[in-house]
């Protein structure tokens, strides 16, 4: 069985690196994108098994990327990430648009473990 491929879309380089390391230590192949446009380019060039997607990324925001994924890669599981803890967008729009759920920043390693079970 080949390793699962993850796309991590996060503009904070430190968090992006931590997520990549975390996933790689669990046996996943990980590619990253620092903004929404880069994420769309990666999605056009490769097939992924799951995606962690930050809501507030530059150039093309996470909601636009999620809409694109639902149109062009409908079976790709997406977990949103946001620090907008009290936002109506965070509470409803992600799931309404087809995300599996939302991870609120800052999060603990056990929160990420729980999320990984959903992807």
**Model confidence band, residue 95 (pLDDT cutoffs 50, 70, 90):** confident
pTM of the model: 0.92
Q: Tell me 46's DSSP state.
A: -
What is the C-alpha to C-alpha distance for residues 84 and 105, in angstroms, rounded to an integer? 8
**How high is the pLDDT of residue 24?**
94
- Asked whether the predicted pLDDT for residue 78 surpasses 60, the reply is yes
What domain range includes position 21? Answer: 5-116
**How high is the pLDDT of residue 5?**
96
- Asked whether the predicted pLDDT for residue 86 surpasses 90, the reply is no
Closest alpha carbon to 16 in 69, 53, 63: 53
The total of structural domains in the chain comes to 1
62: CATH: 3.40.50.2300
* Residue appearing with tokens 């109506």: 88
* Cis amide leading into 106 (omega within 30): yes
CA 118 from centroid of its chain's CA atoms: 12
């Amino acid at each position: 069985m080949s390793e699962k491929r993850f796309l991590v879309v996060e503009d904070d380089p430190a968090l992006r690196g931590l997520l990549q390391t975390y996933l790689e230590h669990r046996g996943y192949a990980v590619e990253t994108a620092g903004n929404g446009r880069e994420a769309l380019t990666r999605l056009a060039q490769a097939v992924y098994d799951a995606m962690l997607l930050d809501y507030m990324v530059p150039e093309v925001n996470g909601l636009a990327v999620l809409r694109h994924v639902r149109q062009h890669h409908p079976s790709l599981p997406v977990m949103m990430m946001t620090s907008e803890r009290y936002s109506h967008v965070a509470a409803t729009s992600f799931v309404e648009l087809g995300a599996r759920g939302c991870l609120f920043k800052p999060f603990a390693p056990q929160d990420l473990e729980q999320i990984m079970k959903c992807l």
